[in-house]
Amino acid sequence: MSETGRKTRRTEAGRRFVGERKRERRERVEEIIRRLWDEYPDATTSLHHESPYELLVATILSAQCTDERVNMVTPELFERYPTPEDLAGGRREDVEEIIRSTGFFRQKTKSLLGMAAAVVDRHGGEVPGTMKELVELPGVGRKTANVVLGNAFGRDEGVVVDTHVKRISGRLGLTKETTPEKIEQDLMELVPKASWTDLPHLFIFHGRAVCRAPTPVCGECVLADLCPSAGF
């Protein structure tokens, strides 16, 4: 299809949702979630972990790095430092060498050692389970805290906004915002709270399989009739 044809189809698709009320948008979101669960019934975090501590470490490492690469690094890291106490006592040079391939390894090492020390000093070696306490740890922002709370503690405190969530939320017309913080607020108003943790997993799976950057495969998308951007 020519570029002109794609623009025409995109405009026609977008008109279907002009004037959509918030109640109607919420209903559309619920249908989006239902369809994505049918399509990706095993959608969950790709980061391998067996405890809140391991997920917190893996999430810190995942910044600007693929989950696949993180999963290649963490077995050695967790064998060497199985607890926050062990990591807090680790040598910077040793940690850097293990995580080097994840990129930004010096800053990540600083974050990991600082986080571990704070968990030991402030929380008796147990990763805390509240947003307030998590974001006070070195190297832990709201996105990382949301990942840990939702996936390790089963607490829906917010919506993780990564590149897939940002892209797909925009294409679906669920937000016009561009910053993760504002996108999260828009999604929290539309998405049922029970799905705050699951939605990012579904969008990530869909983003990798169909709604890709820069060009989505709209002809294979189960959400095409629900998407204002369908017809790229």
Residues belonging to the active site: 143, 162
**C-alpha to C-alpha distance for 147 and 55, rounded to whole angstroms:** 8
CB 125 within 8 A of CB 84: yes
- 67-83 b/e (C-beta count within 10 Å ≥ 16 → b): beebbebbeebbeebeb
Question: What's the start-to-end Cα distance of the chain, in Å?
Answer: 9
Candidates 229, 228, 222; CA nearest to 33 is 222
Dig out the tokens for 29 from the structure.
């979101």
CB 60 within 8 A of CB 111: yes
Displacement of CA 200 from its chain's centroid (Å): 5
Please compute, for residue 203, the number of CA atoms within 13 A of its CA located in the half-sphere on the CB side.
25
